[in-house]
Structure 1
Amino acid sequence: MISKDIVLGLFFLFQTGLGVLGNSFLLGLYTIPIFTGTRMRPINMLLTHLAFVNNLVLLSKGIPHTMSALGLTNFLDDVGCKLIFYFHKVARDLSLCTTCLLSSFQVITLSPGNFWWAKLKAKSSKCIARLFLLFWTFHLLRNGMNLALMKGPLGNKNITEEQDYIYCAVLFPTSLIIAVHILIVFLPDLLCIGIMLGASGYMVFFLYRHHQRVQYIHSNSLTPNISPKTRVTQTILLLVILFVSFNSLNSILMLCIQNGRCSWQIHTSAFLASCFPACSSFILIVSDSRVYNNFLALREKMIQLRCNLGNSPKTHQND
Structure 2
Amino acid sequence: MGNMETNELLLGMTFFSLTISGVLGNFILLYHYIYIYLTRYRLRSTEWILMHLIVANILTVLCKGVPKTISFFGFKDIFNDIGCKLVPSIHRVARGACIGSTSFLSVFQAVIISYRKSRYSYFMVRTHKCICFSLYLNLVVHLFISSIFFVHMRAKHDNESTTNRKAFIYCSSVRQDPTSDILNALLLSGPDIVLLGLMLWASGSMVLTLYRHKQMMKYMSRTNVSSGSSPESRATKTILLLVSTFVSFYTISSLCQSFVSITYNPSWSLVNFSEMSALLFPTVCPFLLMSQEYWASSYLKRNRHFPKPSDQEQN
Cα distance, 1:194 vs. partner?
0.8
Retained in 2: the 8 A contact 1:94–1:136? yes
Inter-CA distance 173–105: structure 2 relative to 1 (3 Å threshold): farther
Q: Which residue of 2 aligns with 1:209?
A: 212
Q: Which residue of 2 aligns with 1:277?
A: 282
- List per-residue Cα deviations over 1:150-180 (Å, max 9, x = no partner): 1112547542322111111111345785576
State the SS of the aligned residue for 1:163. strand
Q: Which residue of 1 aligns with 2:74?
A: 71
Retained in 2: the 8 A contact 1:161–1:172? yes
Q: Which residue of 2 aligns with 1:303?
A: none
Q: TM-score, normalised by structure 1?
A: 0.80
Structure 2: any 5+ residue segments left out of the alignment? Answer: 299-315
Whole-angstrom distance in 2 between the partners of 1:95 and 1:280: 11
CA-based RMSD: 3.0
Higher RCO, Cα 8 Å, sep 6+: 2
The residue type paired with residue 91 of structure 1 is: A
Inter-CA distance 154–238: structure 2 relative to 1 (3 Å threshold): farther
State the SS of the aligned residue for 1:287. coil
- List per-residue Cα deviations over 1:122-156 (Å, max 9, x = no partner): 23444444333333333222311111111112547
Q: Which residue of 2 aligns with 1:119?
A: 122
Q: Which residue of 1 aligns with 2:269?
A: 264
Cα distance, 1:56 vs. partner?
0.2
Q: Which moved more, 1:44-53 or 1:222-231?
A: 222-231
Inter-CA distance 82–222: structure 2 relative to 1 (3 Å threshold): same
2:12 is equivalent to residue 12 of structure 1: no
Report 1:289-308 matches (<5 A): 289=294
2:177 is equivalent to residue 162 of structure 1: no
Inter-CA distance 17–180: structure 2 relative to 1 (3 Å threshold): same
2:258 is equivalent to residue 255 of structure 1: yes
Whole-angstrom distance in 2 between the partners of 1:159 and 1:117: 62
Q: Match for 1:62 among 62, 65, 73?
A: 65
Fraction of identical pairs, as percent: 32
Inter-CA distance 166–154: structure 2 relative to 1 (3 Å threshold): farther
Structure 1: any 5+ residue segments left out of the alignment? Answer: 294-319
- List per-residue Cα deviations over 1:231-264 (Å, max 9, x = no partner): 1111111222122221212222233332432122
Q: Which moved more, 1:198-207 or 1:18-27?
A: 198-207
Q: TM-score, normalised by structure 2?
A: 0.81
How many correspondences in the alignment? 291
Q: Compare CA radii of gyration and give the structure with the larger one.
A: 1
Q: Which residue of 1 aligns with 2:311?
A: none
Q: Which residue of 1 aligns with 2:42?
A: 39
Whole-angstrom distance in 2 between the partners of 1:181 and 1:116: 47
Q: Which residue of 2 aligns with 1:298?
A: none
Q: Which residue of 1 aligns with 2:97?
A: 94
Inter-CA distance 26–113: structure 2 relative to 1 (3 Å threshold): closer
State the SS of the aligned residue for 2:229. coil
Inter-CA distance 204–150: structure 2 relative to 1 (3 Å threshold): same
Cα distance, 1:182 vs. partner?
5.6
Whole-angstrom distance in 1 between the partners of 2:268 and 2:94: 24
Whole-angstrom distance in 1 between the partners of 2:103 and 2:25: 21
